[in-house]
Amino acid sequence: MNTAGIRLITFDCYGTLIDWETGMLAGLRPLLGTSPSDAEILKHYGEVEAELEAGSYLRYREVLARAAKELGRRFSASVSDEAADKFADSLTTWEPFSDTVTSLKTLSERFQLGIISNVDDDLFSETRKKLRADFAVVVTAQQVQSYKPSLRNFEEMLRRSGVPKQNIVHAGQSVYHDVIPAKSLGLRSIWVDRLSRRPGVGAVIAAQGEPDLKVHSLAELAHALGAGTGSGQAAS
């Protein structure tokens, strides 16, 4: 990938910076029992979440709670309203990947950083403390009343940042939510294909897209962009 001119890196948060599979499974497994595999839970979660986010806007806390109840129905487990709400609240306890904080610090020495996340403001405010990074722009689903892959979320980032699209790269774990819409707007994109219980997909809908660069960790991304090396050159 040509790294020339990059000034701003925007990130998806959950799945890219935050280990949402571990957090999600820790919250859902006690509700669903031992019969569905991790991969099955992630597959069905991705389907349900996409359905909920495609309808009339719901806050992400409500999306999480409704998804927990629907997964209970699909796997023949009774999930109470209280248990579903507790699962939604658990998002604030989900932890960053081991390389996230260090890599963000390294990247911030060369680039501005941003967030485009399908989340509520109050939930992200707790997560933000764990990331220990300064973000020049943060766009949440709550702020724009829509969820990625809607272009509205990316267009709001462009408006707020004031950075020309040719100087931005967007990085995310989801081809469906991040790579495809970023590319459609002419942004360079990086697919952060994290190790997953559902390889190559994770807890989202499977989709085909062509990122400018594929990496498997944030540390690899930082190295590819020349952060911390004194060089802006990177291998494609």
Does residue 12 carry a catalytic annotation?
Answer: yes
12, 19, 178, 193: the catalytic one is 12
Q: Is 64 helix (H, G, I), strand (E, B) or coil?
A: helix
Residue closest to 44 by CA, chosen among 57, 31, 55, 56: 31
Hey, what are 146's tokens?
């829509």
Q: How far is CA 214 from CA 4, 149, 172, 181, 235, in A?
A: 17, 19, 10, 16, 11
Q: Is 46 helix (H, G, I), strand (E, B) or coil?
A: helix
DSSP state of 197: S
DSSP state of 94: P
Q: Is 117 helix (H, G, I), strand (E, B) or coil?
A: strand
Catalytic positions are 12
